[in-house]
Structure 1
Amino acid sequence: MDTSGTVSSARQAGDSDGLEALARVGLIAYGVVHLLIAWLALQLAWGGGGGGDSADQSGAMSTLAEQPFGKPLLWVVAIGLFALAVWQLAELFAQLPGLRGTGERKKKAATGSAKSVAKAAVYVFLGITALRFATGGGSSSSSDQQGAVAGVFSWPGGRFLVGAAALVLIGVGAYHVRKGVTRKFMKEVDTARASARERTLIERFGLVGYPAKGVALALVGGLVGWAAVTFDPDKASGLDGAMRTLLDAPFGKALLTVVALGIAAFGVFAFFRARHPRRT
Structure 2
Amino acid sequence: MTTSPGNLTDQARQAGEQAHHSTWMDRAARIGLVAYAVIYLLVGWLCVQLAFGDHEGRPSSQGAMRELLQQPFGEVLVWVVVVGMVFLVVWKGLEAAVGHRDERDDGKRTRKRVMSAFKAVLYAAVAISGFGIVTHSSGSGGKGGSSTTTWTATVMGWPGGQLLIGAVGLAIIGYGGFQVWTAWTEKFAEKLDAEGRSGRSGRAYLAFGKAGYTAKGIAIGLVGALFVYAAVTHDAKKSGGLDEALLTVLQQPFGPVLLGLIGAGLACYGLFTLARARHLSQ
Q: TM-score, normalised by structure 2?
A: 0.90
Aligned match of 1:177: 180
RMSD: 2.0
Give yes or no for contact 1:98–1:106 (8 Å, CA) kept in 2: no
Aligned match of 1:74: 78
Rounded to whole Å, the distance in 1 between the matches of 2:125 and 2:86 is 9
Rounded to whole Å, the distance in 1 between the matches of 2:150 and 2:163 is 17
Per mean C-alpha deviation after superposition, the further-off stretch among 184-193 and 126-135 is 184-193
Rounded to whole Å, the distance in 1 between the matches of 2:40 and 2:13 is 32
Aligned match of 1:125: 125
Task: Work out whether 1:10 is the aligned partner of 2:20.
Answer: no
Aligned match of 1:272: 275
Give the letter for the 2:187 counterpart. Answer: K
Give yes or no for contact 2:96–2:116 (8 Å, CA) kept in 1: yes
Give yes or no for contact 1:13–1:87 (8 Å, CA) kept in 2: no
Aligned match of 1:186: 189
Aligned match of 2:96: 92
Per mean C-alpha deviation after superposition, the further-off stretch among 208-217 and 51-60 is 51-60
* CA positional deviation for 1:7: 2.9
Give yes or no for contact 1:171–1:218 (8 Å, CA) kept in 2: yes
Give yes or no for contact 1:7–1:96 (8 Å, CA) kept in 2: no
> Equivalent residues in 2 for 1:43-54 (5 A)?
43-47=49-53, 51-54=55-58
Give yes or no for contact 2:50–2:57 (8 Å, CA) kept in 1: no
Rounded to whole Å, the distance in 2 between the matches of 1:161 and 1:78 is 31
Q: How many residues align?
A: 273
* CA positional deviation for 1:18: 2.0
Per mean C-alpha deviation after superposition, the further-off stretch among 186-195 and 135-144 is 186-195
Rounded to whole Å, the distance in 2 between the matches of 1:60 and 1:193 is 27
Give yes or no for contact 1:22–1:79 (8 Å, CA) kept in 2: no
SS in 2 for 1:67: coil
User: Deviations for 1:96-150, whole angstroms, at most 9, x for unmatched residues?
Assistant: 8689x7xxx1221122012101111111111111111110123454111111211
Distance 1:211 1:193, change over 3 A: closer
Rounded to whole Å, the distance in 2 between the matches of 1:90 and 1:153 is 35
Give yes or no for contact 2:46–2:58 (8 Å, CA) kept in 1: yes
Rounded to whole Å, the distance in 1 between the matches of 2:100 and 2:179 is 25
SS in 2 for 1:228: helix
Aligned match of 1:198: 201
Aligned match of 1:27: 33
Aligned match of 2:48: 42
> After the TM superposition, which segments of 4 or more aligned residues of structure 1 sit over 4 Å from their partners?
95-99
Rounded to whole Å, the distance in 2 between the matches of 1:41 and 1:130 is 19
Give the letter for the 1:132 counterpart. Answer: G
Task: Work out whether 1:62 is the aligned partner of 2:66.
Answer: yes
Task: Work out whether 1:240 is the aligned partner of 2:246.
Answer: no
Rounded to whole Å, the distance in 1 between the matches of 2:276 and 2:146 is 32
SS in 2 for 1:156: coil
* CA positional deviation for 1:195: 5.3
For structure 1, the 5+ residue unaligned runs are none
Task: Work out whether 1:262 is the aligned partner of 2:258.
Answer: no
Rounded to whole Å, the distance in 2 between the matches of 1:258 and 1:143 is 26
Rounded to whole Å, the distance in 1 between the matches of 2:33 and 2:156 is 35
Q: Percent identity?
A: 37
Aligned match of 2:227: 224
For structure 2, the 5+ residue unaligned runs are none
Rounded to whole Å, the distance in 2 between the matches of 1:91 and 1:15 is 10
Rounded to whole Å, the distance in 2 between the matches of 1:223 and 1:22 is 35
Rounded to whole Å, the distance in 2 between the matches of 1:205 and 1:4 is 41
SS in 1 for 2:164: helix
